[in-house]
Amino acid sequence: MGMSRLATTLEDAVNRRSVVALRRRGWRPRAIGLTGYGSVDSLHVLGRVVMADPLNLHAEDEDVAPVGPFNVAAEAQRGWRAFFTAQVGFLPVTVRAGNQTLRSTTDRGGYIDVMLREHGLPPGWHDVTIEALAAEPVTARVLVVDPAARAGIISDIDDTIMVTMLPRAFIAAWNTFVRHTNTRKPVPGMAQLYRSLRANHPETPVFYLSTGAWNTVPTLRRFMRQHGYPDGPMLMTDWGPTPTGLFRSGVEHKRIQLRNLLITFPDIRWLLVGDDGQHDPMIYDELAREHPHHIAAIGLRELSPTEQVLSHGTPEAIEKPNPLRNAAAEHGVPIVRGPDGHALAAQLPDVLLARDEQRRADPAGAAVPAGDTVASPARAVDRV
C-alpha cells in the first residue's frame, strides 16, 4: 500500500472513531452552507457536514460580528475547532434550490458538491436550503450570474488582495486561529481596482480562487467586507491526503476551478489577477494559452523581495513563463504587472479597452504578433 493510500485510510479511520466518540458525548451533525455559483441554467451548490456541540451549533456562522478586545480567547478556541473538525462522510443530504430538489450524500470529507439544473432562479444572490440527516436545515448563498455578463474577474487571495507577510506554511493557521480582521492588511488599491472595473457593469462577477482551506472562509469574508472588496463566491480547497498524494495539490485545484468557470460561463472573458510569489503566473499563462479567446488580460501583483522570501525562500519570483512561449507572445493576451492595485489600475483600463476593440475588429480572435508593447506609468505592459 502506497503512502498516500495509507494516509487516506488512517485519516478515514481516525475520523470515523472521532464521529462515534463525539456522538456519544451528545454532539450531532451540523450542515454548513458554503458559497456556490451558477448560471440561469445550472447551479453549483457547496456545503459541508461536521460534528458539532449542540450548545454551540452556530459559532462558526459567517455573519458573526468581528470579535472585541475581550473575546480573543473564545475566538481562538472557535478557530481551533474550525480547523480540527470531525467531518461526516457519506451522509444523506437534500438540496433545495428554486424549483428543484436533489438528493445526494456527502463525500468522504463531509463535503456537499452538487449541480442542479433548470432551477428557475433569476440572476443575483439567493439562499438555497441544505438538509442533512440528523442536522438542522441551513441555507447556503449562491450567485446566479447574469447571462448578460461578458466580463468577469478571478482573483487570488493571499498576497494578491491581502498582505500576508508570513511564511506560506503558516498562512492557513493564521487565518484560522487569529481571527481579528484588523491583523491583516489589504493590498493598497486592489479593492478600489475591482470596484472601478465593475462600476459601469455591475453584473460583472468576481470569484476568489485560493489554495486556502474552507475553514478559513468566515475570517476571510469579514476581512473582505471590512475593506470594501466586492462580494463573490470563494473557491477554496481541503487539506489532507488523497488517493494520489499525501497533500492535495493547490496547483491542480486552481486549474480545475478555472476550467470549470470557463465551461460554466462560455460567454465571459476573464481578467485573471494573482501574484508572482507562487504559481499564479504559470497557471494563468497555461490557461490563457489554451483558451486565449476567454481571457481578457492577466494582472500580476509583484511581491517585494521580503515577501518573496517569506513566500518561497528566495528574494525573486520562482516561476516565470517562457518569454518566447507564453500567452502574450503567442496569442496577444495582455499581461500587466505592478506592486499594488494602484499600479495595476493605472494600466488595466486602457489594456482591457484595447483588448475589447481588438475583439470587435476581429471576432475570430486572431493572434496578435509578439512584441507589441507600450510603456505605462508603472512599467512595460504586454498588450494587444
Indicate the average pLDDT of the chain.
83
Residues 256 and 287 in one domain: yes
Q: Look up cell 510603456; give the residue.
A: 375
Q: Are residues 331 and 231 in the same domain?
A: yes
Tens-digit pLDDT profile for residues 261-302: 999 999 999 999 999 988 899 999 999 999 999 999 999 999
Q: Do residues 313 and 167 share a domain?
A: yes
User: Are 129 and 216 members of one domain?
Assistant: no
Domain boundary among 144, 159, 176: 144
Query: Which domain-ending residue is among 96, 129, 144?
Result: 144
261-275 burial, b for 16+ CB within 10 Å, e for fewer?
bbebbeebbbbbbbb
List, for residues 9-43, the tens digit of each pLDDT value: 776 777 888 888 999 999 999 999 999 999 999 99
Domain assignment of residue 288, given as a range: 151-382
**pTM given for the model:** 0.84
Quote the CA–CA distance of 337 and 163 in Å, as a whole number. Answer: 17
Does 371 share its domain with 244? yes
Answer yes or no: are the C-beta atoms of 139 and 219 closer than 8 Å: no
Query: Which pairing describes strands 185-186 and 92-97: parallel, antiparallel, or unpaired?
Result: unpaired
171 & 223 share domain: yes
Number of neighbours of residue 374 by Cβ within 10 angstroms: 12
Could you tell me if 280 and 357 lie in one domain?
yes
Give me the pLDDT at residue 202, please: 95
Instruction: Check whether 46 has a pLDDT greater than 70.
Output: yes
Asked if residue 341 and residue 223 are part of one domain, the reply reads yes
Terminal alpha carbon distance of the chain: 52
Domain count, the chain: 2
Quickly tell me which residue has 483588448 as its cell: 355
CATH code of the domain covering residue 174: 3.40.50.1000
What secondary structure does DSSP assign to 314-325, as a single string? SSS-S---BTTB
> Which of 144, 172, 204 is the endpoint of a domain?
144
Nearest to 213 by CA among 240, 241, 186: 240
Note whether 135 and 213 are same-domain residues.
no
Q: Residue 314's CB: how many other CB atoms inside 10 A?
A: 10
Give CA–CA dist 4/25, Å, rounded.
Answer: 32
pLDDT, tens digit (0-9, with 9 covering 90-100), for 143-200: 999 999 999 999 999 899 998 766 666 765 666 565 555 667 899 999 999 999 999 9
313: left (phi over 0), alpha (psi -120 to 50) or beta: left
Domain shared by 135 and 162, yes or no: no
Parallel, antiparallel, or unpaired: how do β-strands 42-52 and 151-155 relate?
unpaired
Q: Are residues 117 and 162 in the same domain?
A: no
Q: Which residue has the cell 465571459?
A: 268
pLDDT category at 371 given cuts 50, 70, 90 is very low
3-state helix, strand, coil in the chain (%, to 5): 35, 30, 35
Q: Kindly state whether residues 118 and 140 are assigned to the same domain.
A: yes
By DSSP bridging, strand 295-301 and strand 92-97 are unpaired
